[in-house]
Structure formats: structure tokens, C-alpha cells
Amino acid sequence: MKTIDELLAEGVAGKRVFVRADLNVPLDGTTITDDGRIRAVLPTVAKLAEAGARVVVASHLGRPKGAPDPAFSLAPAAARLGELLGADVAFATDTVGESARATVAGLADGQVAVIENLRFNPGETSKDDAERGAFADQLAELADSYVGDGFGAVHRKHASVFDLPARLPHYAGYLIATEVGVLKKLTTDVQRPYAVVLGGAKVSDKLGVIDHLLERADRILIGGGMAYTFLKAQGHEVGSSLLQEDQIPAVQEYLRRAEEKGVEFVLPVDVVVAPAFPDLKTKAPAHPTTVAADAMPEGQMGLDNGPETNKLYASKLADAATVFWNGPMGVFEHPDFADGTRAVAQALVDSPAFSVVGGGDSAAAVRILGFDENAFGHISTGGGASLEYLEGKTLPGLAALED
């Protein structure tokens, strides 16, 4: 895999460099609520611009239906990128149309442009190779070389991620190089004890990585909505908590295998419950109570780890040498249910372990809850990509960057 440093050594002044970034930031209307992914690609874009390249930045945002949708415009991300660069960033109002061609043609050496959301074109996400290829052909006309730096999208077989690199000289940006280096530390020559913290809503989203980690981790800590399927699998009632009944047999099998292999599975011993899911807009009090994990009352919904669980999890992370964390422990967006996620983050800050925060909601939670990002070994920009890498899957976007 060639890197951006090799591209820079070849010379980029006056050349058009297409950077596939991940600017898929959360928006409240047109306000960016977490700019972490934009800041993550900044070193690559800035270095190319400083070297005199004409930089064309492209990304997806959200899940539009293959047609323009103002709610998913990249205009706010382009504006924020300009603020972070301290320079004007041009914005094309389409992907490969008249605006994109004119915007790229108007770039001077060292200038940066962002083209509109790639998913506004149905060719980006098409499962038809020919349709994706045709879109990639059009994108290739905008550039002389390609830099892949959108780690959050490398597990997608999309035109800009998989097909476009085959049409241009291609290189890995700084972010992707860093992400791959970090993930190798979680899969080869791992420093032990190796602890994994998995949260989030659904067990089904994590089945593959749990299966893979049963062969590698020393202990696995479970939280978030997925914990209630585990508790149910142990025979406990879970009230009105999120539950995937169809996953109970798989979970029971994982618990059996973990015991057989000596992998420690750690589940909540107490949980914070409320009668209903909280209002995340008004943050109105949700009237939470704390109950034992094996004594959840009917009509109550588990929404966070309890204080005893927080202490337990901190103790299980204190002596770890390597920690991977993906998924919040509760509904951290509401103050009544943020303590579990905060406790895990604090435990990682306090631990000497090499800690990796696995993207998505976990990365957002770290920032929203006010933690210093530098206190963690690495904060990934790609939750889904990180999980699939840890499952041992081939990621299309990484395969496309190999020569």
C-alpha cells in the first residue's frame, strides 16, 4: 500500500488530487455537533495543499436515497473544513456535473474544493458493478491521483471507495495509515491482558466481532442495549428493555464458549432504569432508579449501567495492557444515563493500557462528555470499519489501495 508521503515525494504541485474523506458528521439542522471526522482528515488535506496540489475532497453524509436532499448537504462540512484550514474552501453543488467540473477547473495550486454528497448519485452505492463503474469513471475525470483517507467508509464497496482507486494512481492518507497501524496492534502481537468493552443497542451488530474476539481477548465487558439480551440469556427478566429474542441462542452459545476457553464475560450487576425512553431534545428528567441486574421490574427500561457495575468495569480495566472499546454503555446523550459511558471513558484515561475507542457513538461520547482525546491511545473514526477489521474481514476500501 503506497502512502501519501510517496505521492508527495513524486510531486503534486499543480496536480489534481482526489481525497476520499469521511465528513459524515452529525448535524442538528445545519449545525455540526461533532467535527471530529473533519479534523481527522485535516493533516492529509493540509499537507497536500501546502505542497501545491489542487485538492478535491469528497465524502458521503447520512443515507440519502441516491438523489439530492438538502438535509444531507456537505455544505456545512465544507465550511468547517475551511475554518480549520484557515483558507477558503470552494464548494460544488453536485458530484460530477457542471458545478463540480467548473469548481475543480477553477482551483489554483494549493486550493481545496469539496464536492457535494457522493450519495446524491445512485452510482455511489449501487450493487451493480457497471453503474458504480460509470460513476467512478466520471469521478476519475476530476483528478490525476487518488488518496483514500475515509476510514469510516472502507468497509463499503462503493464507487468512490472501491472502484475509483482502480482508475487512478492511488495512495493511503495519513488517517488510514494510522488506523490500520492501530488495528494491527489489536490483532497481531497484542499486549495482554486484552480487554474489550462492547456496547451499543443491538447484539446482532456485534455477533461477528464477539465470535472473533472469543479466540483473542482475555475478557469482554458488555453494556448498552445489547446487555439486556445477555441478561435474558442468563435467565433474568429485563422489563421493557431493548431485547433481541432471536439472538438469545447465539448469546448462550457465546457464553458457553467463553467459559470453555477461559475468556471472562463481564455483564452488568446493576442497571439504571426508567419507565420510558428519555426525551433527548429537552433533556427533561427521566425519573431513573437503580436496580439489581437480576431483579429488573416489569415496565421499567434499562438505560445505563449502575454504580456497582461502573466500579466493577473500572476494576476489570485497571490492569489491562490493551483495551478496545466500541459502543456506549447507556443513553449517554441524556444526563440521567451518561454515568456508565463516562465511567468506562474515565477508566481508560486512568489505565496505563493502550486504549482504542472504536469510532461512531463511542468517539462522539468521549468528546461530548468532555474528555481530552489525547488521554486515549487512539480514537477511531470508523466504528463499523473497525469492527469488520477485527472480525478478520477483507475491507473493500483497503483492498483497493493495495497494489
State the sign of the Cα–Cα–Cα–Cα dihedral 132, 78, 176, 24. negative
Distance CA 324, CA 64 (A): 31
Cα distance between residue 250 and residue 191, in whole Å: 29
Helix or strand or coil: residue 273?
strand
Catalytic choice (340, 360, 382, 383): 360
Asked whether 1 and 169 are in contact (CB, 8 A), the reply is: no
Q: Which residues contact 162 (CB under 8 A, 6 or more apart)?
A: 132, 156, 396, 397, 399, 400
pLDDT at 110: 98
Find the DSSP H helices in 172-306. 174-185, 207-213, 227-233, 248-261
- Clarify whether 202 is annotated catalytic: yes
Nearest to 237, CA basis, from 294, 277, 292, 304: 294
Q: What is the pLDDT of residues 104-144, one digit of tens each?
A: 999 999 999 999 999 999 999 999 999 999 999 999 999 99
Average pLDDT over every residue of 307-312:
98
CA dist 126 and 114 (Å) reads: 22
Q: Is residue 403 over pLDDT 80?
A: no
Q: Can you give the C-alpha Rg of the chain in angstroms? A: 22
**Phi and psi of 235, rounded to 5°?**
100, 10
Band the pLDDT of 188: cuts 50, 70, 90: confident
Q: In what order do the strands lie in the sheet with 289-292?
A: 289-292, 270-274, 301-305
CA distance 87 to 112: 9
Question: What value does the mean pLDDT of the chain take?
Answer: 95
The residue annotated as part of the active site, out of 123, 358, 384, 397, is 384
In the predicted model, is pLDDT for residue 390 greater than 90? no
Q: Is 63 considered catalytic here? A: no
State how far the Cα of 154 lies from the Cα of 400, in Å rounded to an integer.
9
Catalytic: which of 15, 20, 37, 232? 37
Q: Is the pLDDT of residue 227 over 90?
A: yes
State the catalytic residue, choosing from 2, 202, 216, 257.
202
Q: Greatest CA span in the chain, whole angstroms?
A: 67
Residue 131 burial class via C-beta count within 10 angstroms: exposed 0-12, middle 13-18, buried 19 and up: middle
Distance separating alpha carbons of residues 92 and 107, to the nearest angstrom: 12
| Helix and strand totals (H; E) in the chain | 14, 17
For residue 264, the one-letter residue type is E
pLDDT reported for residue 353: 94
Give pLDDT, residue 384. 86
CA atoms within 13 A on the CB side of 252: 11
- Name the residue among 347, 382, 390 with its Cα closest to residue 361: 382
Residues 233/293, Cβ–Cβ less than 8 Å: no
Q: How far apart are CA 34 and CA 92, in angstroms?
A: 23
CA 339 distance to own-chain centroid: 21
When mean pLDDT is compared across 140-154, 180-194, 239-253, 325-339, the lowest value belongs to: 180-194
Residue with cell 460544488: 92
Q: Is 393 a catalytic residue?
A: no
**Residue located via cell numbers 452459545:** 253
What pTM did the predictor assign?
0.87
Tell me, yes or no, if 37 is annotated catalytic. yes
**Average pLDDT, integer, range 84-106:** 98
| 3-class secondary structure, 73 | coil
Q: If you average pLDDT over residues 41-59, what whole number do you get? A: 98
- Hey, what amino acid is at 81? L
